[in-house]
Amino acid sequence: PHRPCLFQPLRIRGIEIKNRVVISPMCQHSAEERGCAGAWHLVHLGKFALGGAGLIFVESTAVEPGARIGVRDVGLWSDEQVAPFRAIVDFVHQNGAAIGVQIAHAGRKAGSQALWEGGRALTMEQLRETGEPWRRIGPSALAAGPEWTVPDALSRSGIAEIRQMFIAATERADRAGFDVLELHFGHGYLVASFLSPHSNRRDDHYGGSRDNRMRFALEVARDVRATWPQDKPLFVRISAVDGTEDGWGLDDSVILSRALKAIGVDVIDCSSGGLSDETRNMNVPRGLGFQVPLAERIRREADVLTQAVGVILDGPQAEAILQEGRADLIAVGREALYDPYWPHHAAHDLGHDLRFDDWPIQHGPWLAKRA
């Protein structure tokens, strides 16, 4: 029988992803002490492996303790963080999925509350009370919005230090056994803030022209590609449009994506927005598949694999995106929180795996006997 596109494997470098369903990185703000993953992460991520996803991303994982999105986010800035991730990687592998980690520096948006606490920026005083070395940095001394403090503009030596942090986190991600690494260059965090002319007003060779604003992103990508094993895929998440007038736009993203591909980046994960408070709820309507046109144009014009994400609700919608050649991978976020078995259910909606052969062996044979 014909296999839907959504359930066709994809091989990138040495890694085989068994289908096209990716679990999007999602902050849990639930780390154990010192940014270590724990039982929450094992169960949270492990359930997606049982649910049939091809590739599961760990949430935004900080390269520096004071550069987390939230105060209880996980990190890869320290060797003690490797073993807890290794346990999760092993479980996911034993259950047939590939697993990636998204590494990030939150830049001028470091230190916010979890959404269940309000989702607002914390004050520097609140951050200092944690006893950790929090800091907000950016290309220029411009705040992300009224609720944020003004970041320190990074010096040249500061930029070099951050590059080393990305390299060190990449080495640890490899030791933890991750199959895929994703660089978080979107949502207004550090690297994104270098790309947009609104947040980057530098007058050295990291600011001004588009090439200059792209320089830091390309340096980090090149450093990481040289560190991450050649047989493992490298993804980059971008905000393909930053959501501001005259800001970073889709034409810019096509050019950036071509440059990233030339460096050896395998997949561009096409998100949008997040540069500042004003753009938190972007003007782009958040309708069904609203970011798919970004993945489509980058795929076509930069000739690179793309991952589509954002309000992709069910199997038929995901299947149509792939069949129409608009993306190569489909990332689901909130729908996977709603239904961790989303991939298996999508398969059934598409008339695939009706005998439950792809379900965990502990469950599938029983489900096949179900009336």
Q: Is residue 28 within 8 Å of 71, Cβ to Cβ?
A: no
Q: How far is the CB of 313 from ligand FNR (least distance, A)?
A: 8
Distance CA 293, CA 329 (A): 14
How far apart (Å, rounded) are the C-alpha atoms in residues 135 and 194? 17
DSSP 284-318: S---TTTTHHHHHHHHHHH--EEEEESS--SHHHH
**Contact set with ligand FNR (CB under 6 A):** 24-27, 59-60, 102, 184, 187, 237, 271, 309-312, 332-335
Q: Which of 78, 193, 64, 77 is nearest to 133 (CA)?
A: 64
Using the minimum distance from each CB to ligand FNR, give the nearer residue, 15 or 26: 26
Annotated catalytic residue 189: yes
Q: What DSSP character marks residue 232?
A: S
Q: How far is the CB of 274 from ligand FNR (least distance, A)?
A: 9
Q: What are the beta bridge partners of residue 99? A: 56
> Alpha-carbon distance 38 to 85, whole Å?
8
Least distance in Å: CB of 52 to ligand FNR?
Answer: 16
Kindly tell me which of 189 and 359 has the beta carbon lying closer to ligand FNR. Answer: 189
Q: Which is nearer to ligand FNR, 112 or 200 (CB)?
A: 112
Q: What residues contact residue 237 under an 8 Å CB cut-off, 6+ apart?
A: 25, 102, 182, 183, 184, 185, 186, 187, 269, 270, 271
Q: Min. distance of Cβ 327 from ligand FNR in angstroms?
A: 13
Q: Which pair of tokens denotes residue 31?
A: 């780390």
CB of 36 to ligand FNR, least distance (A): 17
Q: How far is the CB of 29 from ligand FNR (least distance, A)?
A: 9
Q: What is the rounded CA–CA span in Å between residue 38 and residue 331?
A: 24
Nearer to ligand FNR, 29 or 297 (CB): 29
Greatest pairwise CA separation for the chain in angstroms: 69
DSSP annotation of 149 reads: P
Q: Give the residue with the Cβ less far from ligand FNR, 207 or 336.
A: 336
Number of helices followed by number of strands (H, E) in the chain: 12, 12
Return the residue nearest ligand FNR (CB atom): 333
Question: 107 vs 207, which CB is nearer to ligand FNR?
Answer: 107
- Number of Cβ within 10 Å of residue 365's Cβ equals 12
Measured from the CB atom, the residue of 165 and 192 that comes closer to ligand FNR is 192
Instruction: Point out the catalytic residue in the list 189, 206, 338, 341.
Output: 189
User: Sign of the C-alpha dihedral, residues 78, 84, 87, 92?
Assistant: negative
- Residue 107's nearest CA partner among 143, 77, 157 is 143
CB of 334 to ligand FNR, least distance (A): 3
**Which CB, 25 or 243, lies closer to ligand FNR?**
25
Instruction: Provide φ and ψ at 54, rounded to 5°.
Output: -80, -40
Q: Least separation, in Å, of the C-beta of 245 and ligand FNR? A: 23
Length of the chain: 371
How far is residue 277's CA from residue 59's CA, in Å, rounded to a whole number? Answer: 21
- Asked if residues 163 and 157 have their Cβ atoms less than 8 Å apart, the reply is no
Catalytic residues: 189
